Structure 1
Amino acid sequence: MAAAWRWRSGLGALLCALRKCPLWRGSALGAGAHSFCAVSDVQSACRGSVVSQELLNEGFHRELLVKAELDAAGQRAGGCTVAARTRLPSGVYVDPYELASLRRHNVTEAVLIPDAVDVEAPEYSAAELTAVLYLQPDPRCSHCFRAVLPVHGRYQRPAGSGEDALVALRGAEIVACCCDEHLSPECWQPAEVEAPCLGNKDHLCQWYSATHQPEDEELILQVPVGHTEHSFLVCVVTLLATVLCSSLILAAVCKHGDFSLLTCLE
């Protein structure tokens, strides 16, 4: 993909250089090159807006690290609210109670759509989820932003093979909300985002989406899957554990409990 992008960039640079030749002027090919270069000039001014995602930790409980670097035309968004809108498949979810705790400690700020999430639902009965993750300025870069969103894998259907289930996370979309700033129309276009601008429902304004966002490759989350051949063993162990724990609780109640009639009347 990178090699193809460099090849197209080199060909575009060659066409833009040849359009200045007098022999090309007035010809159909020259007019086409001029139109191509005009579009290319706009795209080159906005091409630097890059968003990347990375999965941290292992197992069911992971952290999605989202980093965004705005181009020179979007550096004015530094005074705005910058967020990443990501669509999570049914194989993962965000715990709203955990998110509320992180919000109280000023660690992570995000809006879930829908806001009601069934954390106990398995993958085959859950719905997709959209998260608007508010990004914080990166002190190491003047026009960079980053944030971490905790995500959790859902239980999958048992399978006969020992392979893990693969859950694909699509790339995030960078959006910005500027109530007092004006973003370049060549690099930003109005977007419908169901989230407040500054995390405050009383302060709403227009969101904008970066027009030239590169397509990032999907992240693949591996989720362990139970084996169908272990069903009998799991049922037997679960039943024995339930009977043992219930017996211990009943024995403790009979030994230390007071079952006198006077106690019951009181």
Structure 2
Amino acid sequence: MAGGPARRRGQALLGAGLAALLCVLHAQAACRDAAVTQELLKEGFHRDLLVKVELGVVGEDAGGCTVAARTHLPPGIYVDPYELASLQQHNLTKAVLIPDVIDVEAPEYLATDLLVLLYMEPDPRCSRCFRAALPVHGRYHRPAEDSQEASVVLKSPEVLVCCCDNRLSTECWKPAEVEAPCSGRNAGPCQWYSITHRPAYEESILQVPVGLRHHSSLVCVVTLLTTVLCSSLILAAVCKYGHFSPVTCSE
């Protein structure tokens, strides 16, 4: 009889442990990571950055939420703000650049990092999928010693969700500091949340064509000769077809 209470206490502790384990497993299932795919389309200096996100189980209730990808662009790649403004005017894409003033002519070694918040659109082929594309451009690099390409590494983006118009539970998400509106309908501040995700690839690599350093002398000579030749042809055309007297041209 003495072992009865101890046995019951053991069974109660075992039941409580199993219940806690089930709760943890249920929470892990509800907070399943999102899947992120990032691709660089086209070739050369002018590319398209395509980002795809598939939310976890919690994404089934995210109908009223805004999904965005926050990515850091290294100095070797940039977004043209004038091109972006034109695309946004035609509702082809939506993004926020930080900083919003970008020197598009600066080479890679004089440029700085760029933060992009890219708003994503629902994918009609998948209820929990979102996608967005953004044109990006490679910057000119210093001439290399023995390689005709420079590698620009683009890290996987951070997935953000904002549910200003939705009472969706945010227990699975971490608050993120983002000073950007949740959507075009809401211009006021809104709380963004960061979602843990498992990228298909940890990083994407952009190969940018570069010149070879031992070609510098040849390039300078050819450039100088071309400049002199073109200047001579322009001067000859001005003297032949311009409204100048022969005395002026001979001087």
Question: Equivalent residue for 1:127?
Answer: 112
- Spell out the pairing of 1:92-111 with structure 2 (5 A cutoff): 92-111=77-96
Shift of 1:251: 2.7
Cα RMSD after superposing both structures: 2.6
**Who is 2:121 aligned against?**
136
2:197 is aligned to: 213
Q: Which blocks of at least 5 consecutive residues in structure 2 are unaligned?
A: 1-9, 246-251
Distance 1:244 1:209, change over 3 A: same
Task: Name which of 174, 179, 196 aligns with 1:194.
Answer: 179
Would you tell me which structure has more strand in proportion to its own residues?
A: 2
Query: Which residues of 2 match residues 73-84 of structure 1 at below 5 A?
Result: 73-84=58-69
CA contact (8 A) 2:148 2:211 kept: no
2:100 to 115, 128, 132: 115
Unaligned runs of 5+ in 1: 1-22, 261-266
Are 1:150 and 2:135 an aligned pair? yes
1:34 offset after TM fit, Å? Answer: 7.2
**Do structure 1's residue 161 and structure 2's residue 146 form an aligned pair?**
yes
Alpha-carbon distance in 2 for matches of 1:223, 1:36: 51
Normalised TM-score (structure 1): 0.79
Q: Give the letter for the 1:150 counterpart.
A: P
CA apart distance, 1:193? 1.2
- Deviation of 1:110 after TM superposition, in Å, equals 0.7
Please state whether the residue corresponding to 1:252 is helix, strand or coil: helix
Following superposition, the deviation at residue 25 of structure 1 comes to 7.8
2:183 is matched by which residue type in structure 1?
A: L
Most deviating of 171-180 and 109-118:
171-180
CA distance in 2, matches of 1:252, 1:199: 56
Whole-angstrom CA distance in 2 between matches of 1:233 and 1:120? 24
Give the match's secondary structure for 2:197.
coil
Q: Percent identity?
A: 63
Secondary structure at the residue paired with 2:62? Answer: helix
Q: Deviations over 1:66-121 (max 9, x none)?
A: 01111221233232221111111111111111111111221111110011111111
Residue-pair matches, total:
235
Match of 2:56 among 58, 71, 84: 71
> How far did 1:40 drift?
4.2
In the alignment, what sits opposite 1:264? Answer: none
- 8 Å CA contact 1:42, 1:186 repeated in 2: no
- Describe the shift of the 1:230–1:201 C-alpha distance in structure 2 as closer, same or farther (beyond 3 A): farther
Distance 1:24 1:220, change over 3 A: farther
The 8 Å contact of residues 90 and 124 in structure 1, kept in 2 or not, is answered as: yes
Q: Secondary structure at the match of 1:174?
A: strand
Deviation at 1:200, TM superposition (A): 6.6
TM-score of the two chains, using structure 2 as the length reference: 0.83
Cα distance, 1:251–1:43 mapped onto 2, change above 3 Å: farther
Residues 168 and 219, structure 1, Cα contact 8 Å, conserved in 2 = yes
Aligned positions of 1:15-54 closer than 5 A: 26=13, 38-54=23-39
Q: Is the 8 Å Cα contact of residues 175 and 207 (structure 1) preserved in structure 2?
A: yes
Distance in 2 between residues matched to 1:123 and 1:24, nearest whole Å: 67
SS at 2:63 equivalent: helix
Match of 2:249 in 1: none
What is the deviation of 1:157? Answer: 1.6
Q: Which moves more between the two structures, 224-233 or 248-257?
A: 248-257
